[in-house]
């Protein structure tokens, strides 16, 4: 491609950034595989897609891969006519990958244009006559994180060959590197044997190659005399069944190595001619590069779809956890609200103190005389004499505080139990043990909230004392007395009370309501009580929202990462940009 590929490269970089920060943190089912897929996708972009997208005419990379003991290194040696790789009895024998290129192509591979994660080490071809088992560094001295670069005249221009580790190596790092190198290749020379060509591991990789439209050549090595007629048809059938019917198959008979541990050059004439034919035909090279690139991008898109789905599952779990917590606190809010309506806050000391203050019989005898007595009691309160109204207010405040803190603790316990039920939740619980109960600040915050609500009630009463007559009555009774009466009206529903409590609480509510109606009027009292209850509900919700927010804060870092829709969109944009660049170049 030319400069027309610039938009596609920009799209690729955006997609890579999203994949590098996919946000697959929670240990949900299958997440390990998706994390590995995201990491592999980033490596594929770095190792192959980005450099190939930037330059379709760059030399092709042919990776020689296969199973342990298939003879990959021996075949590479035979292709070059000189011992360049390690081939011996120690398994795995190939550990440090070796890239052999033509001298004129040295500049292409010295940089980190491809396989940027592997350090470059410049090596030298063994002297003629060096045994293959002695070529290169000893296995224990090799370093798998390095790519050894060798140049040799026998390698055709515009083509490099990598001798990869075994795909079924007993060493995990060897298998991972083999897979990475195969993913970075434009074409494969896949080596198997007559005895092992049906093994499962090689075929999984070959199926992947077919899905990515990689050009593949098959070397069937060590074919016993007379076995080719039986093995080759079966191998070709298996290739066709997996979408590789066009893959050329090169058969190498079983034969002894020479004194240097080398196969004769004639044994690899087929694969050598195939590689040289591709290298010498620019149109063929471009076609192979474009086809492999397109297949790699299509495969990347498939992987992105799965990764985006996994990321969405992460976000869905976080949303579900937060919603469940919010539901527990909604239940707590409802419980607090119920406690303010069912008479629970008007039991015991509250009722006793309120009765001490008002006295039902006096009120029903004459409102005016009741007002006179109440005025006297309010005056006593102002002058510092003991007054039950202060105790009533304190008892209501204490009861309301206890209910709120208790329900907050119940909600926190329910949230904690939810977290403990799943692996993801336990991960969060381990990092945030403070979520096991209500916040340390809740008690003080609840006290402040109740005081603020009481202050708001006073302001509400003051705001509704619209004329001089009403203001005079409020002042004569005392604003604190009227406020307590309003609280009694809000809380003293008879629901939930039994026996004598019903009569006492009911009478208390009536007394409080009659007092307020005398001051404000019946409609105004209904309005005051409704506003007071709604204000309390909103304040409790705000208080509990702060408690819910603790879980939200714990979950928030887990939300950092790629947006699933952005992943899918950027992948599609990349496909579109690549297709547009290809049309412009044609």
CA–CA separation, 48 and 50 (whole Å): 6
In angstroms and rounded to an integer, the radius of gyration of the C-alpha atoms of the chain is 41
Strand segments (E) across 388-469: none
Spatial CA neighbour of 171 closest among 247, 95, 276, 88: 95
Q: Is 321 exposed, middle or buried (0-12, 13-18, 19+ CB in 10 A)?
A: buried
Burial, 168: exposed, middle or buried (Cβ in 10 Å; 0-12, 13-18, 19+)? Answer: buried
Exposed / middle / buried, residue 55 (Cβ in 10 Å: 0-12, 13-18, 19+): middle
Q: What is the mean pLDDT of the chain?
A: 84
Taking the C-alpha atoms of residue 57 and residue 261, their distance in angstroms, rounded to an integer, is: 36
Please report, rounded to a whole number, the percentage of residues in the chain having pLDDT higher than 70.
Answer: 79
User: 106-130: per-residue pLDDT in tens?
Assistant: 999 988 889 999 999 988 776 666 6
Asked if 139 and 69 count as a contact pair (C-beta separation under 8 A), the reply is no
Q: Rounded mean pLDDT of 278-283?
A: 96
**Residues 228 and 112 sit within 8 Å (Cβ to Cβ):** no
* Spatial CB neighbours of 194, under 8 Å, sequence gap ≥ 6: 220, 221, 222, 223, 224, 227, 228, 231, 254
The pLDDT tens digits for 410-432 are: 999 999 999 999 999 999 999 99
Give the residue among 395, 414, 409, 410 at the shortest CA–CA distance from 344: 395
Domain 58-280 class in CATH: alpha beta
Q: Are 480 and 381 a contacting pair, CB within 8 Å?
A: yes
Q: What is the pLDDT of residues 524-570, one digit of tens each?
A: 778 888 898 899 999 999 999 999 999 999 999 999 999 999 999 99
Q: Over the stretch 445-491, which tens digit does the pLDDT of each residue have? A: 999 999 999 889 888 877 777 676 666 666 656 667 777 777 877 77
147 pairs with which residues across the strands?
A: 120
- For CATH 3.40.50.300, the residue range(s) in the chain are 58-280
| Burial readout 492-505 (b: 16 or more C-beta within 10 A, e: otherwise) | bbbebbeeebeebb
Backbone angles phi, psi at 191, to 5 degrees: -105, 130
């Amino acid at each position: 491609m030319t400069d027309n590929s610039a938009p596609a490269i920009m799209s690729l970089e955006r997609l890579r950034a999203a994949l590098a920060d996919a946000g697959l943190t929670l240990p949900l089912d299958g997440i390990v595989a998706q994390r590995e897929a995201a990491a592999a996708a980033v490596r594929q972009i770095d190792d192959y897609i980005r450099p190939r997208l930037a330059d379709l005419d760059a030399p092709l990379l042919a990776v020689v891969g296969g199973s342990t003991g298939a003879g990959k290194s021996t075949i590479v040696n035979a292709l070059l006519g000189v011992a360049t790789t390690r081939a011996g009895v120690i398994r795995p024998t190939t550990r440090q990958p070796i890239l052999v290129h033509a001298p004129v192509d040295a500049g292409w591979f010295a940089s980190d244009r491809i396989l940027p994660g592997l350090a470059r080490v410049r090596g030298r071809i063994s002297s003629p006559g060096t045994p293959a088992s002695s070529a290169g560094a000893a296995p224990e001295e090799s370093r798998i994180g390095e790519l050894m670069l060798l140049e040799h005249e026998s390698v055709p221009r515009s083509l490099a060959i990598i001798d990869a580790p075994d795909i079924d190596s007993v060493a995990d790092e060897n298998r991972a590197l083999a897979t990475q190198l195969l993913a970075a290749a434009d074409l494969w020379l896949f080596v198997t044997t007559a005895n092992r060509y049906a093994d499962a591991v090689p075929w999984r990789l070959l199926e992947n190659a077919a899905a990515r439209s990689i050009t593949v050549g098959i070397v069937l090595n060590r074919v016993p005399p007379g076995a080719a007629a039986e093995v080759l048809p079966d191998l070709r059938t298996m290739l066709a069944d997996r979408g590789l019917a066009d893959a050329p198959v090169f058969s190498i008979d079983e034969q002894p190595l020479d004194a240097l541990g080398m196969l004769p050059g004639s044994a690899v004439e087929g694969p050598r001619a195939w590689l040289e034919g591709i290298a010498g035909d620019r149109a063929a090279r471009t076609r192979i590069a474009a086809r492999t690139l397109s297949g790699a991008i299509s495969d990347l898109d498939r992987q992105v779809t799965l990764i985006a789905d996994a990321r969405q599952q992460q976000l869905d779990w976080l949303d579900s956890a937060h919603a469940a917590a919010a539901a527990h606190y909604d239940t707590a809010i409802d419980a607090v609200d119920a406690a303010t309506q069912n008479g629970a806050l008007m039991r015991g000391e509250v009722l006793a103190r309120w009765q001490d203050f008002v006295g039902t019989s006096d009120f029903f005898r004459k409102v005016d005389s009741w007002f006179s007595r109440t005025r006297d009691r309010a005056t006593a309160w102002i002058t510092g004499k003991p007054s039950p109204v202060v105790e009533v207010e304190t008892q209501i405040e204490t009861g309301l505080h206890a209910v709120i803190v208790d329900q907050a603790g119940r909600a926190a316990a329910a949230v904690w139990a939810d977290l403990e039920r799943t692996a993801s939740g336990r991960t969060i619980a381990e990092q945030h043990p403070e979520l096991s109960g209500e916040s340390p600040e809740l008690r003080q915050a609840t006290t402040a909230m109740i005081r603020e609500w009481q202050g708001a009630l006073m302001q509400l009463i003051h705001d509704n004392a619209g004329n001089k007559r009403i203001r005079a009555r409020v002042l004569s009774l005392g604003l604190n007395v009227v406020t307590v009466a309003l609280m009694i009206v809000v809380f003293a529903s008879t629901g939930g009370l039994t026996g004598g409590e019903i009569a006492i609480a009911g009478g208390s509510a009536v007394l409080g309501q009659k007092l307020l109606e005398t001051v404000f009027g019946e409609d105004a009292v209904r309005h005051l009580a409704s506003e007071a209850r709604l204000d309390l509900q909103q304040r409790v919700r705000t208080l509990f929202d702060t408690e819910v927010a603790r879980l939200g804060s714990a979950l928030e870092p887990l939300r950092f990462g790629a947006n699933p829709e952005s992943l899918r969109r950027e992948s599609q944009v990349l496909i579109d940009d690549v297709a547009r660049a290809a049309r412009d170049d044609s």
